[in-house]
Amino acid sequence: MIARDPEELVKLAHDGSRTALARLLTYVESGGQSQLDTAALAYQVASPYVVGITGPPGGGKSTLTDQLISVVLSHGSFGGADPFDQVSVLCIDPSSPFTGGAILGDRIRMQGHATNEHVFIRSMATRGHLGGLSLAVPDALRVLGAADFHLALVETVGVGQMEVDIASAADTTLVVMNPGWGDSMQANKAGLLEVADIFVINKADRAGVRETRRDLEQMLDLGGERAWRPMILETVATNGTGTEELWEAVVAHRAFLHDGRLEQHRRQRTRAELDKVLAAMARSRVSELVHGAAYEAQVDALVAGTTDPYRAADTLLSSS
């Protein structure tokens, strides 16, 4: 019988219990006091290094993720600096009703790794988390950190704002596209350009690679000078072509960040997360305010015309 207390579960997860880890992630998804307790405990440990993998559906993200797992496991270290011997993967699909480890469609491919004790794969949806997936994911990443994972791959499906938000909260963000991306990604170019640390032209055995690369370079030129100019890599994930080089690019970007920038990067992320928690908590308090005698008294006053909605709201918020 597995413990239910987050503190006990964190200890068990740290000692390698996957059941404890799974339960903690369920707490994170489900919201409530268990979520808050889990988040508070997990916050005390270092986050894993997070590689975000995003881009339009059908680009081959899952196959690429699968290949990256293999590359990472074969190296057994993060560019030689931080040795690690396990990989965690979060698959985020807000549109999917499945959760708790259910792996869908192309992701079944990844299941080849799922029986490997050094790999932990989890699909995430949100059921009751206070702030939805964009807050549940950072919590989940810290839980993975508490379970002694030093690396997490976060794969998102779709190119909605939330998916881009989640992927771009990574330390290194990969934007995966295919030759001829212009047609399918035109509308999302701007947003994806901003978050990409590395562009991956996957399915690079197809026609149009040169044009796609040229388009990307031109857009990067227009973007002006920046400390890290996003790299552009070509892969054929189905046969592993270019995936070693892709991992080396991730390692290079990590080295760039570690050169004094990681702290600042994570401070920005911390700030963004705190803002989201504040907004979610404020919403939740407001929804509590609308029950009770004080609220009804203000409604009475409004109906009687002795106050106005702004004064009434101010009174309620000030007394909460």
| 309 touches a second copy (CB under 8 A) | yes
Query: Whole-number minimum distance, CB 312 to a second copy, in Å?
Result: 6
CA distance 299 to 12: 51
Stretch that binds a second copy, among 202-210, 225-233, 241-249, 269-277 (CB under 8 A): 269-277
**In the window 288-307, what residues touch a second copy (CB under 8 A)?**
289-290, 295, 298-299, 302-303, 305, 307
Stretch that binds a second copy, among 84-92, 223-231, 246-254, 268-276 (CB under 8 A): 268-276
**In the window 151-210, what residues touch a second copy (CB under 8 A)?**
none
Stretch that binds a second copy, among 99-107, 158-166, 181-189, 270-278 (CB under 8 A): 270-278
**In the window 112-141, what residues touch a second copy (CB under 8 A)?**
130, 138
Q: Which of 16, 267, 292, 294 touches a second copy by CB under 8 A?
A: 267
Straight-line distance from the first to the last Cα atom of the chain, in angstroms, rounded to the nearest whole number? 41
With respect to a second copy, which residue has the nearer C-beta, 144 or 204?
144
Residue span 42-81 as binding mask against a second copy, x where in contact by CB under 8 A, dash where not: xxxx------------------------------------
Q: Which of 205, 285, 292, 294 touches a second copy by CB under 8 A?
A: 285
With respect to a second copy, which residue has the nearer C-beta, 71 or 316?
316
| 283 touches a second copy (CB under 8 A) | yes
| 310 touches a second copy (CB under 8 A) | yes
Site residues (CB under 8 A) for a second copy?
A: 36, 39-40, 42-45, 130, 138, 263, 266-267, 270-271, 273-275, 277-279, 281-283, 285-286, 289-290, 295, 298-299, 302-303, 305, 307-314, 316-317
